[in-house]
Amino acid sequence: MEEDEDDHHRRRRASHSRRIMKVVGQIAKPRRAANINRIRKRRGLIPEPKIMAALRMLAYGASTDQVDEIARMGKTTVLESLMRFCSAIKTIYTNEYLRKPTPRDMRRILRKGEM
């Protein structure tokens, strides 16, 4: 009779423990937030890491292997970012800095050269 009581007590304790663990599991379980339609226009990586990858390659002479490990991008993405960055800089500054010198610019340059 005493064994039956002990057995009953153990089963009751185990069932209580299971219920507690179930409740704790429900509390601790990360809940998923409702889906919100954010209408994202850009897919893939945002521009900032791509620009940083291009700048690293230009500033430090880093290879694509080094940059893709740091930025966690593919080699082709890193190279494409570098090409786009360079073409954007060229487009922006060509008219001002890579134009043919005017006669006034030539006189200024020659004066500096004489000094």
Q: Report the C-alpha gap between 106 and 27 in whole angstroms.
A: 77
For residue range 63-115, what is the model confidence (pLDDT) as tens digits? 877 777 777 778 888 888 888 888 888 888 887 777 788 899 899 999 999 98
* pLDDT for residue 107: 93
Q: Tokens 């009751």 appear where?
A: 12
**CA neighbor of 71 nearest in space, from 40, 89, 45:** 45
Q: How far apart are CA 4 and CA 16, in angstroms?
A: 18
The residue among 59 and 30 whose pLDDT is bigger is 59
pLDDT digits (tens, 9 = 90+) for 32-47: 666 677 666 676 677 8
DSSP codes joined into one string, the chain: -HHHHHHHHHHHHHHHHHHHHHHHHHHHSPPPPPP--------SS-HHHHHHHHHHHHHH---HHHHHHHHT--HHHHHHHHHHHHHHHHHHHHHHHSSPPPHHHHHHHHHHHH-
pTM recorded for the entire structure: 0.48
